[in-house]
Amino acid sequence: MQAAIQSVRPTHHTTTTSPIGELLLLGNESALTGLHFPPYRWTSTITADLPCDDGPFRAAIGQLEEYFAGDRRAFELPLALDGTPFQQRVWAALQEIPYGRTATYGQIASGMGHPSAARAVGMANNRNPIAIVVPCHRVVGSNGALVGYGGGLDRKRMLLELESGVRPLPAS
C-alpha cells in the first residue's frame, strides 16, 4: 500500500535499535520525513536543532519492529518525502515493488515511461530519505547483482533475505 506523499520539514527526531543497527527517524506529529542508517550522511546538522522525542514515532517504530519480526509486509505510515518531482515519482515507484521482490533501475525507468533514465532513477534511489519504508533496498542491478545501498550492501542483503524468507533477523 503506497502512503500519501507530502512535503514537510521534520520537527523531531529519535533513534531506535533494529537487527540491522541503529536507525535515525525524522518527522513531525503528522508524518515520517526520514529514516537513515549511520553515519547519517545528510542529517547531522538537522538533528542538532531538533528535539529528540519518541512520541511522534510510536507507529513507525512499532511497524518497523513488526517488519523485522517478519510480521509486516507493508508499511501504513504517513510520509513526507522532500524531493524533486522526478524523485517523488521514483520513490512512489519504489513503494510499488512487492515485498520479497526486486526490480532493476531500468525496469523502474521503463515503468515511468523513461526507458533511458536508469541512471537518473539510480540517483533518485540514492537520495531516498526514508529507507526500508520506501524500499530502495529492493532495487538491483540489471544483472540482478546487489549494487549501491546507502546502508551498505550487507544491510541490503539482510533486508532482501528477510523478505524472501531465507533467514530471520536476530532480535534487536
Catalogue the active-site residues: 136
Closest CA to 151 of 14, 21, 26: 21
Residue 41 makes CB contacts below 8 A (sequence gap 6+) with 150
Grid coordinates given for 84: 524533486
Cis peptide bond prior to 85, omega within 30° of 0: no
At 49 the three-state DSSP class reads coil
d(CA 85, CA 71): 33
Residue 133 makes CB contacts below 8 A (sequence gap 6+) with 3, 32, 35, 60, 75, 77, 79
Grid coordinates given for 52: 529528540
Closest CA to 23 of 38, 10, 13: 38
